[in-house]
Structure 1
Amino acid sequence: MQTEKVVDHIVNWLKDYATNANMNGFVLGISGGIDSAVVSALCAKTGLRTLCVEIPIHQHKSQVTRAQQHISFLKEHFANVSNLEVDLTPVFEEFKNAVPPAEENPNTALALANTRARLRMTTLYYFAGLHGYLVAGTGNKVEDFGVGFFTKYGDGGVDLSPIADLMKSEVYDIARFLELENDIIEAIPTDGLFDDSPSDEEQIGASYDELEWAMKKDDEGHQVTSFSGREQEVFKIYKRLNLANQHKINPIPVCEIPVHLKN
């Protein structure tokens, strides 16, 4: 990958999109992870206003520390970057108190994790509405179009996606090119939506390198029977998640009414 040219391309794309949409800049959540760090740096490089929002909900201390370090890094290098912290932990707890108890339901943990992501999305759009900003997405290609590892109308609820055509390894290349903090580059990826903070690999069952491999093999038309051992296991994981999450990966289906039924 021609990293410097890719960076310039994304920065110009972001700036052109915002200018043509008559918007004032960008807003995004800063998690302490590599994807939000890269996207925020790319937005900052446009010269347009970039609002970085910390939105902790029972967040692990290490994630909060990395997020704060990254925001400090951005503000040292870009005068157009500002930041806010909105602690949604009380809001999340109030939500749990407001809905009927469902402790015995096996889907409760995931439903609450997705609720966290959707509360954060609502917060970002609040600030976007106040200031005329675009909500910048932080999903990469493997997450958004491979295994659908994001929350529908949560971190998937955005106005534009700067890195959604980049594999995770390419996001790391850009992070190193931008000289982002080593703590962020070396951090184990996690969505931060569960109290025990499992890694993405623990949740998915495969690493991003493995998923990239599977995505490429799938694009080439390979079948499960083409592989054996760990490769076959990873390919099965990829295919299972890709199929199960088509409702997130594809546009919302619209029921088209035949013309003769409307007349």
Structure 2
Amino acid sequence: MQTEKVIDHIVNWLSDYAKKAHVNGFVVGVSGGIDSAVTSTLCAKTGLSTLCIEMPIHQAASHVSRAQEHIAQLKGRFENVSDTRVDLTPVFDEMARQVSMSGDADREELAWANTRARLRMSTLYYHAGLLNRLVAGTGNKVEDFGVGFYTKYGDGGVDLSPIADLMKTEVYAIGKILKVPESIMVAAPSDGLWGDTRSDEDQIGASYPELEWAMNMDDEGKKASDFQGREQEVFQIYKRFNTANKHKMVPIPVCEIPEQLK
């Protein structure tokens, strides 16, 4: 990958899109992870106003410290960057008191994890609407179009996706050139939706390099029977997530009414 040229291409794409949309800049949710760090830096490089928003909800201390380190560094490098912190923990807790239902414990835990992401999406769009800006998404290619590892109408609810055609390993390569803090570069990727430090690999069962390999193999038309051992296991993990989360990657189904019924 021609990393520096890719960076220039994305920055120009962001600038052109914003100008055509007649907006003032971007809003980015900063989590302390590589994807949001790279996205916010790319937005900052456009020279347009970029608001970084930290939105903790019972957040692990390591996630908070990395997010704050990145924001401080970015503000020191770019005059067009500002930030705000919206503590959504009280909002989340109050919602839990009002709507909590008894049911399957695992499904309830997942529902609340996705609710965290949707509360953050609403917060981003509040600020974007107030400031006439675009919400920049932070999803990468393997998450968005491979395993669907994001929340529908949560972190998947954005105006534009600057890094969604980049694999996770490519995002890291760009992060190095963009001087993303080392603490973020070496941290295990995590969605930060559980109130602990569990990583994406803990949840999925495979690393991003493994998932990227599986995505490429799937694109080539390979099947699980073509592999053995760990490769077969990883490919099966990829296919399971890809199949289960396909609804996130395709347009919303519309019930089309036959003309003779109208």
Give distance in 2, aligned partners of 1:131 and 1:261.
45
1:103 to partner: Cα distance: 5.9
Say whether the 8 Å CA contact 2:142–2:211 is kept in structure 1. yes
Give distance in 1, aligned partners of 2:11 and 2:44.
9
**Residue of structure 2 in register with 1:46 after alignment:** 46
SS at match of 2:106: coil
| Identity level (%) | 68
**Residue of structure 2 in register with 1:200 after alignment:** 200
**Residue of structure 2 in register with 1:120 after alignment:** 120
Give distance in 1, aligned partners of 2:24 and 2:149.
30
**Residue of structure 2 in register with 1:258 after alignment:** 258
| One-letter identity of the residue aligned with 2:132 | G
- For residues 144 and 172 of structure 1, do their structure 2 counterparts lie closer, same or farther at Cα, with a shift above 3 Å needed? same
Please show how residues 183-262 of structure 1 align to structure 2 within 5 Å: 183-262=183-262
1:259 to partner: Cα distance: 1.8
| One-letter identity of the residue aligned with 1:110 | L
1:114 to partner: Cα distance: 0.3
| One-letter identity of the residue aligned with 1:41 | T
Q: How many residues matched?
A: 262
- The TM-score normalised by the length of structure 2 is 0.98
| One-letter identity of the residue aligned with 1:205 | G
Give distance in 2, aligned partners of 1:42 and 1:106.
37
Give distance in 2, aligned partners of 1:124 and 1:41.
17
More divergent stretch after superposition (198-207 vs 247-256): 247-256
The alignment yields a C-alpha RMSD, in angstroms, of 0.9
Give distance in 2, aligned partners of 1:260 and 1:176.
59
| One-letter identity of the residue aligned with 1:149 | F
SS at match of 2:101: coil
**Residue of structure 1 in register with 2:109 after alignment:** 109
Give distance in 2, aligned partners of 1:143 and 1:171.
12
1:168 to partner: Cα distance: 0.2
SS at match of 1:162: coil
Runs of 4+, deviation exceeding 2 Å: 100-106
Give unpaired runs (5+ residues) of structure 2: none
Give unpaired runs (5+ residues) of structure 1: none
Give distance in 2, aligned partners of 1:210 and 1:247.
23
Give distance in 2, aligned partners of 1:35 and 1:172.
8
1:104 to partner: Cα distance: 4.7
**Residue of structure 2 in register with 1:60 after alignment:** 60
**Residue of structure 2 in register with 1:7 after alignment:** 7
Render the CA deviation track for 1:72-123: whole Å, top value 9, x for unaligned: 1111110000000000000000000001432654301000000000000000
SS at match of 1:106: helix
**Residue of structure 2 in register with 1:24 after alignment:** 24
**Residue of structure 2 in register with 1:148 after alignment:** 148
